[in-house]
Amino acid sequence: MRFLRLSIRTEIVLGIIVALGAYLSGAGRLPRGVRGTAERTADSAARWGAAHGVHTGRVGVRAEARRRWITIGVLFVVALVFALWNHPTELTVLLLVLILLAVLAVLPLVAASGRASERTQPTDRR
């Protein structure tokens, strides 16, 4: 019974996290507001970094261009790690979500820095 209870709790935590992620990726007013605030915050941090000499250069430009695919790849890797984990617990799910959130928090900063560097420097495309 212990394993069954642990599995049920793990699935409940995973279900809540997936439902919250699905809601925040939707088209409602609150999710759009959250995403807009996150983008403005990333742009503000990128401008601050650019003013203090922190630039991501071509990595930021490429991250901005391939942002959707990078996000899908990170989600796929986290889902694969969860699926291949022997006996996942609630702590495992929360740890994987924290890692995912950290990566998804850094990605907009890198992409925003790429947008900022594209605006300030003319690109030399040969």
Q: Are 8 and 19 in contact (CB under 8 A)?
A: no
Q: Are 9 and 3 in contact (CB under 8 A)?
A: no
Residues lower than pLDDT 50 in the chain? 126
pTM exceeding 0.85: no
3-state secondary structure of 27: coil
29-51 vs 90-120: helix crossing angle, rounded to 10: 60
Look at residue 30 in the predicted model and tell me its pLDDT. 92
